[in-house]
Structure 1
């Protein structure tokens, strides 16, 4: 059996709000709560399980999503309509622009808890 990522926990101050924020940008469905988690299912079988930190501070993490060109356009329209600042780079130094790495398009934005979210249309190249 090949090793695959099955799920990951995304810490949030408000798990419902954070799950709905990301699902709304990406056009995904928020699932029914499962124990202490609010799941968002991705197309490749991976689940993002949003978990509320009960008053503890949330440490920012990076989450990158590979999307089609059409999905990118729709997500960008949602980002812009919501007035979310987006950046061409992961350090958020180039606001209002997208990148064109490896012949694709990519953009970074922050979720309600400060997680650095990324959508991209091409996986980043890795040396062989």
Structure 2
């Protein structure tokens, strides 16, 4: 069997709010949830499990590869919701997207403060 990525737990201030944010942004269906987790599943089967840890949340970085059409819709949602975003991870180019690596990309923070990146072309 080959190694594939199966799931990760993402710390959230409000697990239901974070799961809803990503479901709406990335146009994903609800997934069965259990215990302390509110889950969403990506198209390739990877499970994102949102949980509310009893400790201060440390920022993490999560990048999602989208096709051009979904990127356009997701970016429109960011703008419609007045979500602050940047073309660069250093947050020096506010309100812009980038055209790097032969595609487009944008950075913003999710409801828990994690650094999220949407790209249309993989880096490698």
What is the TM-score with the length of structure 2 in the denominator?
0.95
For 1:15 and 1:120, the matched residues in 2 are separated by 24
- Aligned residue for 2:72? 73
What is the TM-score with the length of structure 1 in the denominator?
0.92
- Structure 1 residue 111 and structure 2 residue 113: aligned? no
Q: Which runs of 4+ in 1 moved over 3 A?
A: none
In structure 1, stretches of 5+ residues that fail to align are none
Indicate the larger mover: 25-34 or 116-125. Answer: 25-34
- Aligned residue for 1:46? 46
Indicate the larger mover: 26-35 or 96-105. Answer: 26-35
What is the CA distance between 1:110 and its match in structure 2? 0.2
Asked if structure 2 preserves the Cα contact closer than 8 Å seen for 1:30 and 1:38, the reply is no
For 2:81 and 2:32, the matched residues in 1 are separated by 25
Asked if structure 2 preserves the Cα contact closer than 8 Å seen for 1:41 and 1:47, the reply is yes
For 1:61 and 1:110, the matched residues in 2 are separated by 10
For 1:36 and 1:116, the matched residues in 2 are separated by 23
Map Cα deviations across residues 18-44 of structure 1 (whole Å, 9 max, x no partner).
111121111112323222111110011
For 1:44 and 1:33, the matched residues in 2 are separated by 18
- Aligned residue for 1:94? 93
For 2:43 and 2:91, the matched residues in 1 are separated by 27
What is the CA distance between 1:13 and its match in structure 2? 1.2
In structure 2, stretches of 5+ residues that fail to align are none
- Aligned residue for 1:28? 28
